[in-house]
Structure 1
C-alpha cells in the first residue's frame, strides 16, 4: 500500500512486511548492512582472551590498545562518510563500505604479530562508519512523523550485530575446528573471520541493486537531489561544525553509544574475570546487552516522535535529557553489583536506557540542520566513538578496576545529560515542525478514509 506523502514522497508509515516499496527495502537493507558491519567490527572481542590473545601473545595493554585503535579510527571514518553521503549518495557509500569491510575482516585472519594485528583492527574500525549511512538513508526515506522510530529501529537492529557476535563467534570458531578448517584451538578464530566477510559481499550486491539515494532517484541520475549550499553560505560540513547544538549532541552520543561500544568490547571479559565464567557462558550473557536493541532503541526513537506531537522539537530534547539521566544512574547501579543475577539484571536495565538514549538522540538529529544532514549525522556519530576511546583510555591509564570505571562513567553520563538542556530551536523551526506535523496528520486521515472505502 502506498504510504508516501505526494509532496515529500517519503513514507509516513513503517510496514515491516512491505518489501516492495523503495522506502521499506531501504529500511531493511540498511539495518541488515549495519548489523553485518557491527558483527564484523566486534567479531574479535569474544575471542580475545581465549584464542586471539594467546595465539598472538598479546598483553593486556595491547588488547585494550587494539580496541582503542578499532574504535578510534571510526571517528575519522564517520566524519568522512557523512560528507561522502552528501556528495555521492548513501547507496554508493554503503556498497563501497561493505566491499571494503569484507576485505579487511577476512584479511585480519592473516595477522601474525602485534603490529599486523593492530593494523588489521584499525582497518576493521572503518566499517563502524556504517551507522552514519544507515541514519542518513532512513532520514531520506521517511517523513518527520516516523523518522525518529525509523532511524532508531534501523540503528537498533543493526547494533544487534555487536551483541549477536558475542554469542555466535565463539560457536563459529569452534565449528571451524570441528570441521577441520582450523588446525588448533588457538587458530580457530582465523577461518571464522571469513564468515561475516562473505555475507558482506552478498549484502553489498543487494544494496547496490535494490536501493536508491532518495525516493526520487539517485544523485548521479538527478543532480538536483544532491544537497547544495546556498550562495554566501559556508560549506555543508562547516555549516554543521559551527552549530553549537551539533557538539552538544556529539557529547551526548558519546555518553550513550560510546558506552555501548565500550561495554560491547569489555562485557565478556568482565563476566569472565569477575564471576569466573567460561568464554561461551560469558559471551551469552554479554550478548543480552546487545539484544536489547531488538526494541530499546526503537522505543527511544518512537517516544521522541510522540513527545514531539505535544512538545514540538523541544519535546524531543526533553525526552532525550530524561532518558540519558536514567541511563547514568542505571550504570552506577550495575557497577555496584557483586551477585551474578543482580549484575545481569542491572546490566539489562542499563542496556534498555543506553539504547533508548541513542534512539532519542537520532530523533533530534534530523531537525538540527537539514541541509547538512550528512555532516551532522557524521559528527554526532563520531561523538560515540570519541566517548568509547576516552573510556578505554581511562581504563588503560588510570589503574581503576573495570567495575569502578563503570561507576565513574555513570556519574559522567548524569552530568552530560544536563547539557541537553542547551539544545534550542528557533521559533521558525518550531513553527515549521508544527506545520509539517499538521500536514502529515491530514494526509494520514485521508489515507485512512481511503482504506475504509476500499474495505
Structure 2
C-alpha cells in the first residue's frame, strides 16, 4: 500500500477540534467507552437478573464466561476487516449491530435467551481493536503509543463507570413509574440505543485516515494496493512476535478483567469488608484507566526515542514483570492496609503494561495493523477466559470441601468456612497467575526488530539513526 505524504498528527492535542486526528480520537474513545459500558452493563444488576430469570449458580458463571468468549472471535475477525474496509465502516457496523443483543438482553425472558445475548454482547468488545487501528492510522510513530494507550484507557472506563451509570439510569426510569424489578431491562435497552446512535455519529463524523477514507483514496489512486502489498492473513500469523504479544496481552488485560471480576468477593472474604466498600475499591481500580494506560504508552514512546523499537520492548517486559510481582505479593497479604496498597500498585502496573503493549503493536506489521491488533487484542480475552476457569475450578473445589467438612454446624459457621476456603483458593490462584505473568515478561524479551524496521521507525519519528548503532551491534552479535 503506497500513500501520499502522511498527515498523521505528531502531537496529542486534545482540544484542537479542527484537527481530524483529534476529532477521531474523541469519537473513537467515546464509542469505545459506550461499548464497554454496555458490555459490562448487566454486572450491577446480576442479583436482580438471577432473581427475575431464576439463574442457577452455574448459569451465572457461564454468563460471565460467555461474555468474554464471544469477544475472542470478534476481535480476530474485525482486525482483518479493518485492513480491508477501514476502521470507519467497521466501527459503524459494530456499534449498530452490537446494539441489537444489548437491547434484546433487556427483553430476555429465559436463562437460555439471556446467555445467548451475553455471548453476542461480547462481540462489541472488539471495539478495542478498531479503536487501536484508528488511532494508529491517525497518529505518527513518535506519539502513537500515547494516543493508543489514552484512547484505550478512557474507553476502558466504561467497564467501571457502569457501576455508577447503570444504577443511575435505573433510578431515572423508576422515577418515570417503571417497577424496580424491571428497571434493569430498561437500562440495558437505553444502553443499546446509545450504542446505535454512536454508530450513526461514527459514520458521519470520522474518516479512515487524515487524508480520507480507504474507498475514496483507492478510487483516486492516492492509496494504491498491489498484489505485493496484499498481506495474506496466513503470512501475518506466521510472525512469532504477534503470538508473544498475544500472550503478553493475555497476561495484562486478561488478568485485569479476571481480577476485576473476582476482587469484590475476594476482598469481602479475606478482609471482611462490606459489599459496598469492596465494590467502591474495585471501582477505583477501574478508574485508574484515566491515566495509567496513558503512562504505559507514554513511557513506551519515551523508551522508543531513547533505544528505538527495542526500547519499547524492554519497557514492556519490565512493567509486565512488576505487574506479576505485585500480584504475587498481594496474594499473600492478610493486612487490609497493605493489601489495598499492593492492589493499587498492581492496578497501576497492569494498566501501564496494556498501554505499553500497544506502543509496540503498530510497528510489528504496518501493512496489516488491523490483523495484528485483532490477534493481540483477542489474547486479552483468551487470558481472561483461562484465568476465570482456573479460579472458578479452584474455588468450587475448595468451597465444596468446606461445606462437606462443616456439615451439621450452624448456617453462619458453614458460610464462614466457605468464605475462608474461597479466599484461600483464589489467593493461591492469584499467586500462580502472578508467576505466569513474570514468565511471560521474560518471554517478551524475545521480540526482535530488524535493522530496517528500526531505521524506518527512527526516520518516521525523526530520531537520529546514531541511536540505533548499539541496537545494530546487538542484533548482529
TM-score (normalizing by structure 2):
0.85
SS at match of 1:215: coil
- Residue 182 of structure 1 corresponds to 179
- Residue 71 of structure 1 corresponds to 68
Contact between 1:227 and 1:372, CA under 8 Å: does it hold in 2?
no
- Residue 201 of structure 1 corresponds to 196
Over the residues paired in the alignment, what is the CA RMSD in angstroms? 2.2
- Residue 22 of structure 1 corresponds to 20
Mapped partners of 1:227, 1:163: distance in 2: 42
Q: 1:410 aligns with which of 428, 434, 439?
A: 434
Q: 1:389 aligns with which of 382, 385, 392?
A: 385
Structure 1 residue 97 corresponds to structure 2 residue 121? no
The alignment of Structure 1 onto Structure 2 pairs a total of residues equal to 432
Distance 1:227 1:276, change over 3 A: farther
Q: 1:59 aligns with which of 34, 52, 56?
A: 56
Contact between 2:304 and 2:310, CA under 8 Å: does it hold in 1?
yes
Distance 1:131 1:417, change over 3 A: same
- Residue 210 of structure 2 corresponds to 215
Structure 1 residue 422 corresponds to structure 2 residue 420? no
Which string of whole-angstrom CA distances, capped at 9 and with x for unpartnered residues, describes residues 222-251 of structure 1? 2256684643x8743222201000000000
- Residue 240 of structure 1 corresponds to 236
SS at match of 2:215: coil
Mapped partners of 2:338, 2:98: distance in 1: 37
1:262-281 to structure 2, matched below 5 A, reads 262-275=258-271, 277=273, 280-281=276-277
Shift of 1:196: 1.9
Shift of 1:78: 0.3
Which string of whole-angstrom CA distances, capped at 9 and with x for unpartnered residues, describes residues 4-40 of structure 1? xx93210001111111211100001111111110111
- Residue 154 of structure 1 corresponds to 151
Distance 1:270 1:170, change over 3 A: farther
- Which consecutive unaligned segments of at least 5 residues does structure 1 have? 1-5, 442-455
Mapped partners of 2:26, 2:300: distance in 1: 21
1:34-433 to structure 2, matched below 5 A, reads 34-48=32-46, 50-184=47-181, 187-223=182-218, 228=225, 230-231=227-228, 235-275=231-271, 277=273, 280-398=276-394, 399=397, 401-433=425-457
Distance 1:55 1:225, change over 3 A: farther
- Residue 434 of structure 1 corresponds to 458
Shift of 1:279: 5.0
- Which consecutive unaligned segments of at least 5 residues does structure 2 have? 399-424, 466-477
Shift of 1:334: 2.5
Which string of whole-angstrom CA distances, capped at 9 and with x for unpartnered residues, describes residues 319-355 of structure 1? 0000000001111222233344433332221111001
Mapped partners of 2:273, 2:108: distance in 1: 28
- Residue 13 of structure 1 corresponds to 11
Mapped partners of 1:192, 1:370: distance in 2: 41
Contact between 1:86 and 1:226, CA under 8 Å: does it hold in 2?
no
Distance 1:288 1:226, change over 3 A: farther
Mapped partners of 1:439, 1:404: distance in 2: 46
Shift of 1:218: 0.8
Mapped partners of 1:149, 1:347: distance in 2: 24
TM-score (normalizing by structure 1):
0.89
Mapped partners of 1:227, 1:236: distance in 2: 17
Which string of whole-angstrom CA distances, capped at 9 and with x for unpartnered residues, describes residues 128-173 of structure 1? 0000000000000000000000000000111111111233333433
Mapped partners of 2:124, 2:276: distance in 1: 26
Contact between 2:458 and 2:464, CA under 8 Å: does it hold in 1?
no
Distance 1:331 1:170, change over 3 A: farther
Mapped partners of 2:203, 2:173: distance in 1: 31
Stretch of structure 1 that moved more, 76-85 or 187-196: 187-196
Contact between 1:162 and 1:264, CA under 8 Å: does it hold in 2?
no
Contact between 1:167 and 1:284, CA under 8 Å: does it hold in 2?
no
Distance 1:85 1:129, change over 3 A: same
Shift of 1:178: 4.6
Computing the radius of gyration from Cα coordinates, the structure with the larger value is 2
Contact between 1:68 and 1:392, CA under 8 Å: does it hold in 2?
yes
Distance 1:407 1:371, change over 3 A: same
Mapped partners of 2:239, 2:376: distance in 1: 12
SS at match of 2:214: coil
Distance 1:327 1:255, change over 3 A: same
